[in-house]
Amino acid sequence: MSETPVSGPPPSVSVVIPVKNESGNIGPLVDEIAAALGDRSFEVVVVDDGSRDATDAELIALQKDRPWLRHLKHVVSCGQSAALRSGVANARSEVIATLDGDGQNDPKYLPALLGALKSGPRVGLAAGQRLGRKATGFKKLQSRVANEVRMMVLKDDTRDTGCGLKALRRDVYLGLPYFDGMHRFMPALVQRDGYDVVHVDVIDRARRHGTSNYGFWDRLVAGLLDLGGVWWLINRRKHIPAVSEVKPDAG
């Protein structure tokens, strides 16, 4: 693992990016993130999920003159949800933004997502909703059917959970039940814990290089099982505790 030394006060936001075989995409993306965040203090935490291309070497080279860039690595691929969790667990800020590493998520929407996260005291997640999806007709059909089934079962009022652009509170995320594939159910899981979810429309972009590294068919069967599991989790939580501390009288 090659990682920039961590020192100084925590940044105002940690941007977490799970990547797998994204050579040629990750360099331009991290510089777009820096430009989008402007004068904010930030760090970018890239989690290399077992890449077998030049992603690792590119990240090491990028770190030389980007002190805000951190590089975490899974020796073997553990999946996108695991990479996100590794990044959030190691993030230094209590405010997290996420996006995919293929360049299809435009970092210019990060300020809007961060602003939406602060729009109410109970907002735990601001989720991007893709418009102008850049995908094949078959893949768009797959996503539409999957989203409609999920909304019907979970009633999470989110038309697109596959968008990687999100902003969330670190403590809220780490309090969610973890399982492989959980990143596709985050709105429902956040709502289960009593937090609000807000949505921000974002324009999808075409992938710069390469092809998707997480396949459809392996997600399909697991996704159906996960959907049943999340439904069970939601329906087993009848009440959300309202906790207050009782202190003795001063006298």
pLDDT computed for residue 207 by the predictor: 78
What are the pLDDT tens digits along the chain (251 aa)? 333 346 679 999 999 999 999 999 999 999 999 999 988 999 999 999 999 999 999 999 999 999 999 999 999 999 999 999 999 999 999 999 999 999 999 999 999 999 999 999 999 999 999 886 655 555 555 566 666 666 666 777 777 888 999 999 999 999 999 988 888 898 999 999 999 999 999 998 887 776 666 555 455 556 667 887 778 888 777 677 778 889 887 76
Predicted local distance difference test score (pLDDT) of residue 2: 36
Which neighbouring-strand residues pair with 98? 16, 166
What is the per-residue pLDDT for 48?
Answer: 97
Between CA 13 and CA 62 the distance in angstroms is 20
**DSSP 8-class letter at 8:** S
Supply the CATH number for residue 200's domain: 3.90.550.10
Q: Please report the pLDDT score of residue 4 as a whole number.
A: 39
pTM, full prediction: 0.84
pLDDT computed for residue 3 by the predictor:
38
Alpha-carbon separation of residue 145 from 78, 139, 222 (angstroms): 26, 10, 15
In a domain, 243, yes or no: no
Whether residue 247 lies inside any domain: the answer is: no
Report the number of distinct structural domains present in the chain: 1
Domain annotation covers residue 248: no
What contacts 202, CB < 8 A, 6 or more positions away?
Answer: 105, 106, 109, 128, 129, 130, 131, 163, 165
Give residue 217's pLDDT.
46
Q: Is residue 2 part of a domain?
A: no
Q: Residue 117's domain spans which residues?
A: 13-236
